């Protein structure tokens, strides 16, 4: 029986181990943490948004980097295959806003437990607290490199016919994502592209943003501009922090404009009332004015915004809080409406890897076979998941990348072994 060694007990590594073992391989999975799925456990605030329920072809619209590379992997193991895997394993699931799929229990532990059960059922040998130090690579007679195994941190060398690197990226380093996979990839002759945090909060410049710390906005439109060019726009939820902004809208934006932010600042605008045009908003204000001519402006405008936001809006509009409604000029009203439809601030950068959900960048996909996930540089070496230069927006898309590439690597390794055995028998 041929031996398949998997480095990393996250989403990609665990699922890959199941399919490799089902294909008749002796599978050993090495995880440096004391338990499997440590990052999975905290995904989706502990609820685990494990994939997206959109049409499979729509997945590619949410993959940011190298989506074409994923065609074989995703169509070979779709989001519906993932849902079926967990449903069959006893996990009841549900769909929420934006197609986000969760376990019905809202417990990420159900996803991890299902994977562990399937691993044990398939005969996968799990090695916890086992950090891999390096890959063992040899040159064959034809000059090509071949993987022969791994060496653990304690010096032990373990022989293997195939090795999968599924170590994750640099994000959430407390979960064990220490970037080891990138070093190993280089040992296998691979190029690692520029790495940066992604799906991460943003830092802002203005002093009034920290005043809004903790304020969550729902049903707003966030737009980011490079000069006059809009580089990102979407509708949803976001939140202000002591350093800037976060929330689903912001995290997805970071995946699309992160590289741009390394070079320059971006102008941001929030449409606080996207359901109303400027004219409709003006008409609403005028009705409020008519009903309360002698009221202070802050009391009338207070119906439009959360209490925490109103003082900032008044400051930006240049209107004294105590000013009477009947004293408000047409220009002041127009300026206030403008700030409501385009609340302004400046984005200066991203937070670090410690707060990032994923890593943008990784093993260059041109050096990996998209039909198998096997290295084009080193025979028997495979890659899956976040260690590759692949990423997507929020909504379960990054875990789908992990499932699809992990399954393909495990299945391909098993098929490769079977093909070799058949050839040997025929010879």
In this structure, what token pair is assigned to residue 180?
């080891």
Domains 3-197+355-426 and 201-351 equal at CATH topology level? no
In this structure, what token pair is assigned to residue 309?
């936001």
Given this model, what pLDDT does residue 416 score? 62
Given this model, what pLDDT does residue 425 score? 44
In this structure, what token pair is assigned to residue 195?
């790495």
| Alpha helices, H only, 162-320 | 180-187, 248-261, 278-291, 297-301, 310-317
H or E element: which one contains 382? strand 381-383
Q: Please answer whether residues 261 and 253 qualify as being in contact, where contact means their C-beta atoms are separated by less than 8 angstroms.
A: no
Q: 3-197+355-426, which class in CATH?
A: alpha beta
CA–CA gap between residue 120 and residue 117 (Å, rounded) = 5
Name the phi and psi angles at 101, rounded to 5: -100, 130
CATH of 201-351, one of 3.40.50.150, 3.40.50.720, 1.10.8.50, 3.90.1170.50: 1.10.8.50
Among 135, 169, 158, residue whose Cα is nearest residue 27: 158
Among 269, 280, 383, 355, residue whose Cα is nearest residue 316: 269
Does the CA dihedral 115-118-122-124 come out positive or negative?
positive
CB contact burial 56-91 (16+ within 10 A = b; e otherwise): eeebeebbbbbbebbebbbebbbbebbbebbeebeb
In this structure, what token pair is assigned to residue 10?
């996250």
Given this model, what pLDDT does residue 418 score? 53
In this structure, what token pair is assigned to residue 72?
């074989």
| Average pLDDT for runs of 10 along the chain of length 427 | 94 98 96 94 92 97 96 98 98 96 98 98 97 93 90 96 94 74 92 94 97 96 97 96 96 94 96 95 86 80 86 88 84 91 97 91 97 96 97 95 98 72 47
The domain limits of the chain are 3-197+355-426, 201-351
Task: Measure CA 368 to chain center.
Answer: 21
Among 266, 257, 268, residue whose Cα is nearest residue 197: 257
């Amino acid at each position: 029986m041929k031996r398949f060694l998997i480095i990393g007990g996250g989403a990609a590594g665990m699922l890959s181990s199941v399919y490799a073992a089902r294909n008749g391989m002796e599978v050993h999975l090495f995880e440096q943490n004391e338990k499997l799925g440590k990052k999975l456990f905290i995904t989706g605030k502990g609820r685990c948004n494990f994939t997206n329920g959109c049409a499979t072809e729509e997945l590619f619209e949410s993959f940011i980097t190298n989506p074409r590379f994923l065609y074989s992997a995703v169509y070979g193991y779709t989001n519906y295959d993932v849902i079926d895997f967990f449903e069959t394993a006893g996990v009841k699931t549900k769909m929420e806003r934006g197609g986000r799929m969760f376990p019905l229990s809202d417990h990420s532990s159900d996803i991890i437990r299902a994977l562990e059960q399937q691993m044990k059922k398939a005969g996968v040998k799990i090695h916890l607290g086992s950090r891999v130090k390096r890959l063992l690579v040899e040159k064959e007679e034809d000059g090509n490199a071949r993987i022969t195994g791994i060496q653990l941190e304690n010096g032990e060398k373990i022989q293997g016919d195939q090795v999968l690197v599924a170590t994750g990226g640099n994000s959430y380093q407390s979960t064990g994502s220490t970037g080891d996979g990138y070093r190993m990839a280089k040992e296998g002759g691979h190029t690692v592209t520029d790495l940066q945090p992604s799906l991460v909060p943003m830092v802002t410049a203005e002093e009034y943003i920290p005043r809004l710390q903790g304020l969550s906005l729902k049903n707003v439109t966030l737009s980011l501009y490079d000069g006059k060019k809009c580089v990102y726009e979407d509708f949803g939820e976001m939140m202000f922090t002591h350093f800037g902004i976060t929330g689903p809208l912001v995290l997805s934006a970071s995946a699309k404009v992160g590289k741009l932010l390394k070079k320059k600042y971006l102008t941001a605008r929030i449409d606080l009332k996207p359901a109303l045009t400027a004219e409709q908003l003006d008409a609403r204000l005028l009705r409020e004015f008519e009903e309360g001519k002698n009221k202070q402006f802050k009391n009338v405008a207070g119906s439009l915004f959360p209490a925490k936001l109103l003082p900032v809006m008044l400051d930006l509009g240049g209107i004294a809080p105590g000013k009477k409604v009947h004293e408000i000029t047409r220009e002041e009203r127009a300026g206030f409406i403008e700030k409501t439809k385009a609340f302004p601030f400046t984005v200066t950068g991203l937070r670090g890897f410690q707060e990032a959900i994923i890593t943008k960048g990784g093993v260059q996909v041109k050096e990996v076979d998209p039909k198998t996930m096997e290295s084009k540089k080193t025979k028997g070496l495979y890659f899956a998941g976040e260690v590759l230069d692949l990423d997507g927006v929020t909504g379960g898309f990054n875990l789908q990348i992990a499932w699809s590439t992990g399954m393909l690597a495990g299945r391909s390794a098993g098929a490769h072994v079977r093909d070799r055995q058949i050839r040997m028998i025929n010879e």
